[in-house]
A and B are shown apart, each in its own frame.
Chain A
Amino acid sequence: MPLWFLRGLRRGVVTTRYPARADGSATALPTPPAFRPDALTRELADRLAAVCPSRALARNASVLIFDVGACTACGRCREQAPGAVTASGEFELAATDRAHLVKRIPLLGDETARRSGPTAGQAPAGSQRGQA
């Protein structure tokens, strides 16, 4: 008899309590990356954008544009710069507006962009894909 069957019998209920309580398995899944703004230079942003297979990353002047909707959580950017990119662990990403899924991260070396901070949804996702 498989071990998981006995474990299931011992624990009783197998169903997740998800909306009410967090599910432990959620953290084991591949999740989109999180970027450390204090480690992101323009060169690194260009390298990350070049390595991204699904055009989720793009650099616009001194801002890294990260489209979570286009991200496939493949982990190539994390491989490219393990110090600057980590797994976010976020999976509750559903949004009612496509623009809410586009994140703008200011890059190092440009203080004006840093002061104004990231502003979400200035450009629709479609136009960015057109440029890429």
Chain B
Amino acid sequence: MTGETSRGGSVQETAGIQETADELRRSVASQFGRSLHIRTLDTGSCAACEQEIRLLAAPHYDLHRLGFFFTPAPRHADLLMVTGPMIRAFDIAARKTYEAMPGPKLVVATGACALGGVYPSDAFTHGGIGETLPVDVWIPGCPPSPLALLQGLLVAVDRLAGKVRDLSFMRDSLMPDGGHQ
């Protein structure tokens, strides 16, 4: 990362920044960890993944207890859960959905199609979502079971904490409790 090298500063200062980053990461994890909104995006899947995603809200898995919620609006979403091999007809819609989401945002590739396993790249599909969207977490499975999805979401939450730290308005941020310089 260029941000790491351009920071420079003394050893003490670097240690301070590291401390700030760790603290920020913890606070963000505790905040986003309790409420993270998911938008699902079907880019040509067979709907098996959708069925497993839907089961996450069933009483046995109950993802709301972990603070995950589904939202129909990309503008309210922190996380984009993409299924299917990304058919080319969906390029514009996928880009618009991603751009409509506020930062920091995450993309989770869900299922073997999205990971590039099932369909080859041809005239109709990209054969995976990796070249269209910046994927943060990959969840294998055909379809991934709800437990696998839960694990993937928990991996994603850690990832989101890292992303908040990388936001430009956070770059010169002070300690959360530190007040002004």
Q: Which of B40-67 contact A (CB under 8 A)?
A: 59-62, 65-66
Please tell me if A16 contacts chain B, counting CB pairs below 8 Å.
Answer: yes
Please, which residues of chain B bring their CB within 8 A of the CB of A12? none
Please, which residues of chain A bring their CB within 8 A of the CB of B61? 15-16, 18
Say what secondary structure dominates the interface of chain A.
Answer: loop
B residues whose Cβ falls under 8 Å from a Cβ of A: 59-62, 65-66, 112, 115-118, 120-121, 127-128, 130-131, 135-142, 144-145, 147-148, 150-152, 154-156, 159
| 25 pairs, A vs B, C-beta closer than 8 Å | A14-B59, A15-B65, A18-B61, A19-B66, A29-B145, A32-B140, A54-B118, A55-B117, A69-B112, A70-B116, A70-B117, A70-B140, A71-B112, A71-B142, A72-B117, A72-B118, A73-B141, A91-B141, A91-B145, A92-B148, A94-B137, A94-B148, A95-B137, A95-B138, A98-B135
Q: How far is the CA of A70 from the CA of B130 in the complex (A)?
A: 13
B151/A94 in contact, CB under 8 A: yes
Select one of A19, A23, A70, A92 contacting B112, CB under 8 A.
A70
Residue of A nearest to B145 (CB): A29
Q: How far is the CA of A54 from the CA of B127 in the complex (A)?
A: 12
Please, which residues of chain A bring their CB within 8 A of the CB of B155? 94-96
Please tell me if A68 contacts chain B, counting CB pairs below 8 Å.
Answer: yes
Please, which residues of chain B bring their CB within 8 A of the CB of A67? 117
Bitwise, A4-43 to B at CB < 8 A (1) or not (0) is 0000000000111011000101100100100000000000
Residue of A nearest to B143 (CB): A72
A residues whose Cβ falls under 8 Å from a Cβ of B: 14-16, 18-19, 23, 25-26, 29, 32, 54-56, 67-74, 91-98, 101, 125-126, 129
Please, which residues of chain B bring their CB within 8 A of the CB of A91? 141, 144-145, 147-148, 151
Select one of B66, B112, B120, B150 contacting A129, CB under 8 A.
B120
- Listed from nearest, the 4 A-B pairs whose CB atoms lie closest are A70-B117, A72-B142, A94-B152, A69-B115
B71 CB to nearest chain A CB (Å): 21
Residue of B nearest to A73 (CB): B142
Known: A29-B145, A70-B116. A93 touches B59 (CB 8 A): no
B145/A15 in contact, CB under 8 A: no
Please, which residues of chain B bring their CB within 8 A of the CB of A68? 140
Q: A67-B117, A68-B140 are in contact. List 8 more A-B contacts (CB 8 A).
A: A19-B151, A26-B145, A69-B138, A71-B117, A73-B142, A94-B137, A101-B140, A129-B120
